[in-house]
Chain A
């Protein structure tokens, strides 16, 4: 196995080789302070406002694609063999404005201008990847970009206007340099283990999954960083020491997705964005929830594995995955074990994960026919918000219309994502009707004693959780039970 002590990547039109950097150095600080590329702004330093949005290009099976990411919580160490593109590099090869930039100017899409570079970056990413975005696609691409001045209307208009221009070599620098970029990134990916030493600790980039297992077993105190959408905040908000750090976002071996009639298996390094296709194909009921996890930048960075491994009681994926009877595979060295996901969450802040052991994959069995399955998220703001609560219902009926099995899981209702065992027991064997649902609502109060906080009061959490049982019941009966997004939103 080859070894390196530096990382190599492209920054706009330059090749960068970096060594000696701190494991918690953020891309934003490096761009603004070290490189004086001040077009990219810091708005919140927690991946929520999008003022720091840049594009990161990566090769995936020889195909180069660019995704929007939050530079504020992205660590420089994670950028090996990628192409970082900032707003300074988004205008056309001849220096004139890009289609997105021109449309933003023409439609009065900027006022104070501080969010604008991030919005331009997000929209540029959309423009490259989606030639005919529906309004809902534009909104989704902008979920992670806050604007306080415009009310967004002119920005949406700008995105629609930009889509009238097709990206070509003549009008887009990234397209123009596509071949050269692929060549450069291919050259960087030499399969080496990278070890970078600095005053503030060590950065590791394992060569492959086996190397990760070996490194983590040798350094069980290390912080594993996949998408850094959580660990990033440990640094920017809590100034926690995280060294040594093992980055895993680059490992192809953790990005495997399998979809067949038995279900879906996701490697722990699969981002929410990458997982969407397979998961929604197998479980169409997950589509709406999936598009409400974080913003686009967070979905491009964050991983399902990370959402599980961090053990948060308010993560969006554990409730549906538990209801779907998912299993998680953990690995330490060469040893692997697989356990039901619900068993992984022991109590608040504590998971069934040994020192040196990491989440390697998650498997979700396919839905059988005639299963009623739904998942609902309640949050103060519809998009890019953390759940007040998240519900998942998985119910099967027998031939007589009685409940044969019920798997119900909630996030935000307890110290961990947790099943509603009393409610499930109460439901089983009962007829699937209104009276049963009313009884189940009562039973739910036995399962949970939710807390009050800034996201919701205990009363609201319980009441809306109980009411979601009604929504679920009504929807299994084919009755409309929630707001339909406006027809203009239904294009996607």
Chain B
């Protein structure tokens, strides 16, 4: 740090709104950032591995584990009977998710037993030696098939309704119906699930878990052990990616590791192989959207009746709130006069689907955008015109289907600026001209907007805590309830703290998230990490500052308003003291230099039964223009150019926010293009490794990729330094890629037929859509009804 010259610096290094590297960047690039599997193991550490069912739905008539027990290096084999507490890790409280299955298995790959052995390899080899006997039961993996088979719902559905849907539809000048299928998505965090449990005295246990939700892991471990939460400490320094996949899915591994550790009184680590991780853990929900929309000749939507059915898997997990959020985002940026939206959280014999960046919002929004696209092609117009015609705005056109008023709407300005900066209109005209003379390669372009609601819809989750210590030398210890999974949360919260104390960022040490320091935390999810934990940390700092100010005023006999925190110094009257010196003095005068901060989001409420309320504190906005090329012989394509303008409010760290936007875009593009989950007729997931499940590569990223923050944006609500959440909203920007692919396909029929491209638009789906339109053109040509060129 600088020498203590009072005027040497006018600004701190790394305060709020400054671009700063991720706090662990140096450690990432040198391989010295420790993930749980990198931690030194206590002597005698054992390793667990899970034994899985190989039926999609069956009664286990017998399970012979003798060969497993007898295998080399095996110390113990655990089944449901070894769970000392409750054999349940259901995060919904519906008691529908066992730690280890017993009696009936409900999906192919459900964990049934655990082997604990001297090494991971020995445990894994031993797990293969189990002999199962089953009585097969009928199974269903597909959403539509589940509906047809009258499979149950895993949780209560939601209905959002406003206006008179029957009259609205009946009175609309035009009407269309359709179905869209939307695929799921594996998180493919690079670090798979892992839990490392170290037994303590009495009923105590410490679990290192790669989790976004340490408090829930703590509660689940206690529940499964049959003890209370104060016996369990859960810690995580960082995850190698989460994306929602570690919100509830860590519970199982943590619970089993803890059970084994307590039973054997040895440290136990469980880390599944990538294939097993993908088979055992839930994913983004697949959806089937059925819609019936009434609109007019100008493309304005009058009425929308839609249902959103989801592949939830065998248990409820988070499917209730996920399918709720799908409905909350089916409107995206558009006002529906009369509307009815219903969710159908379908049970299926597949892994229980879970949180994934956007949490159902992307699927809801994609359904809404498909409807816009259908209207545009039905009217022969640019979908962008239809979008603009339906934007929220003006009196009577600002109420959502859940009866929240949209007060902070900036989408028109975002879209207008992007349309200009990307030269959208000229490029679209150029593409249409290109397509007229290009027999094989066709191009497409699309501009799609995003409006995403920020807050947990489980209102009580919107709270956070932080623990801040200032030590005698002026160094600061920061702990908060959020977890670091790469998003730079720790960096941003530390910047907030640096700004509060007016000290350089490197004064602050970020420490591992632990339930022992900040209790009752919410999942780091719903994009809320910085909003909530930044506020809690600021609150802690303010408490300490208040004490310091009172102390200084008394000590130096000056009014409190003459005590000020200035860059790396504290001004006391006319004297400027180095921060460290001031703190030392405060310590000697017995000022408490530690505080627990707290924050809860104000002004939000939600009544699920009536479907009314203000579930979201504010909305984040953005828009993207994507341009693609499609090979109409094979369905292959590439993304040629993407322009993004996104609203992160008054950004706390522009570099980190742009990183979130670029990353979310490519991840969302993967969801809509090459990432395909494929179950076979036995109910086996066959895309369970990177060899078969294809996330985007460097060479898939848009060849020109212009990402800008709306630098004029500012949160109208008093969020942390007027910033906005940025984790999830940009995930939906690549809906523009899917629609651009659709336009290239639609060129086959002169843009007169909706391409109805389902997701993911693999080369195969693109080619089949091309074929569908080619056949329609040929048919029209043969019957002489249309002169669309072939």
Contacts and interface: CB of A to CB of B under 8 A. Distances in A.
B689 interface: yes
A113 B486 contact: yes
A91 B189 CA distance: 26
Contacts of A114: 35, 189-191, 240-241
A479 B437 CA distance: 12
Given A111-B486, A454-B686, A101 B29 contact: yes
A460 B703 CA distance: 27
Contacts of B38: 38
A104 B29 contact: yes
B697 A239 contact: no
- Please tell me the size bucket of the interface on B: 35 or more
Interface of A: 29, 32, 36, 38-46, 48-49, 51, 86-88, 90-91, 97, 100-101, 104-106, 108-117, 120, 138-140, 142-143, 145-156, 236-237, 239, 378, 380-386, 388, 453-457, 459-460, 463-464, 467-468, 470-471, 474, 479-483, 485-486, 488-489
Contacts of A32: 37
A88 B191 contact: no
Closest 3 CB pairs of A and B: A39-B31, A114-B240, A112-B486
Interface string B175-201: 000000000000111111000000000
Chain A contact surface mostly: loop
Contact of B666 (A100, A152, A471): A152
Given A470-B633, A483-B638, A148 B695 contact: yes
Contact of B274 (A46, A386, A463): A46
A467 B703 contact: no
Nearest to B28: A113
Contacts of A455: 692
Interface of B: 21-22, 24-35, 37-38, 40, 121, 124-125, 128, 187-192, 238-243, 273-275, 438-441, 485-488, 629-631, 633-638, 640, 655-656, 658-659, 662-667, 674, 676, 678, 686-687, 689-692, 694-701, 703-705, 707, 762-764, 767-768, 771
Contacts of B771: 463
Residue picked from B22, B694, B697, most chain A C-beta under 10 Å: B697
Nearest to B730: A151
10 contacts: A36-B40, A43-B192, A111-B486, A147-B698, A239-B124, A380-B762, A381-B696, A386-B691, A454-B687, A479-B439
Contacts of B707: 153
Contacts of B441: 480, 482-483
A146 B240 CA distance: 12
A2 to B, nearest CB: 33
A45 B191 contact: no
A296 to B, nearest CB: 11
Given A43-B191, A114-B190, A153-B705, A108 B655 contact: yes
B662 A153 contact: yes
A40 B31 contact: yes
Given A51-B190, A474-B440, A483-B629, A110 B25 contact: yes
B31 A382 contact: no
A117 B128 CA distance: 32
Contacts of B22: 108, 110-111, 113
A459 B764 CA distance: 9
Residue picked from B440, B487, B674, most chain A C-beta under 10 Å: B440
A68 B500 CA distance: 46
A42 B194 CA distance: 12
Contacts of A42: 37
Nearest to A140: B699
Contact of B697 (A36, A381, A463): A381
Contacts of B678: 453-454
A40 B190 CA distance: 12
A411 B129 CA distance: 36
Contact of B28 (A49, A110, A388): A110
Residue picked from B35, B124, B240, B696, most chain A C-beta under 10 Å: B240
Given A120-B31, A148-B187, A380-B763, 5 more contacts: A48-B689, A48-B690, A91-B30, A149-B486, A383-B699
A381 B440 contact: no
A350 B317 CA distance: 46
Given A239-B125, A382-B700, A480-B440, A467 B686 contact: no
A100 B629 CA distance: 33
